[in-house]
Each structure stands twice: as structure tokens, then as C-alpha cells.
């Protein structure tokens, strides 16, 4: 992808929509140079590839297993059974 550098003076009077559409259509980076030498770079976002379709399945009630309370019987300091208690225990 080749860069294109233009001065702000060269872009004056052009609608911003036209400038941005050109960047997207040509898939080129546009560098805009200001009179004081500072520059702004406008680049298109590359298109994302589609996600692959994986074989297999998600078990029913998977959320129940992920979000179920932590069993705490027999573990000193975790009488309440909350996840905060686990964090408190880890910090001790």
C-alpha cells in the first residue's frame, strides 16, 4: 500500500466525504501535511476475514457451570461461598 502525501492547502475546498472515500477505495494511506510541518495520517482499516466455522457443539447449560457458585464446604475462610471470599483467601 503506497502512501500519498498532500498539503492541507491542496485539500482545502474538497468535501471530507470525498477525501475519506478515496482513502477507502484506493486502500492507501493519506498523509496530510500542515504548514508548520506536522502531519496527520489517515489510513483505511483492513477488512476482517470471516471467522472460521468450527466443528463441534457447545454443551447445553454451559453458563450454569461457568457462573455457578464455588463449592466451599470444608474450606476454612470460605464459609460464605462468594467469589469475593476466594479473592480474599488468595490475597492472604
| pLDDT, mean of residues 57-71 | 78
| pLDDT, mean of residues 25-39 | 95
Is residue 19 within 8 A of residue 10, CB to CB? The reply is no
Same domain? For 67 and 36 the reply is no
| pLDDT, mean of residues 71-79 | 61
∠ Cα 16 17 22 (to 5°): 100
| pLDDT, mean of residues 52-75 | 77
One-character DSSP codes across 9-78: HHHTTS-HHHHHHHHHHHT-EEEEE-TTS-EEEE-PPPPPPPPPPPSS-PPTTHHHHHHSPPP-TT-TT-
Is there a domain that residue 47 lies in?
no
Is there a domain that residue 85 lies in?
yes
Q: Is residue 64 pLDDT above 70, yes or no? A: yes
Bridge partners of 31, per DSSP, are: 5, 41
| pLDDT, mean of residues 3-31 | 94
Query: Domain containing 37: what range?
Result: 3-42
Is there a domain that residue 80 lies in?
yes
Amino acid at each position: 500500500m503506497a502512501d500519498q502525501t498532500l498539503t492541507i492547502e491542496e485539500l482545502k475546498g474538497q468535501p471530507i466525504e470525498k477525501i475519506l472515500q478515496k482513502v477507502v477505495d484506493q486502500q492507501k494511506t493519506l498523509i496530510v501535511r500542515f504548514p508548520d510541518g506536522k502531519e496527520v495520517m489517515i489510513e483505511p482499516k483492513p477488512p476482517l476475514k470471516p471467522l472460521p466455522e468450527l466443528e463441534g457443539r457447545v454443551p447445553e447449560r454451559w453458563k450454569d457451570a461457568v457462573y455457578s457458585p464455588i463449592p466451599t464446604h470444608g474450606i476454612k475462610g470460605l464459609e460464605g461461598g462468594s467469589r469475593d471470599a476466594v479473592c480474599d483467601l488468595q490475597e492472604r
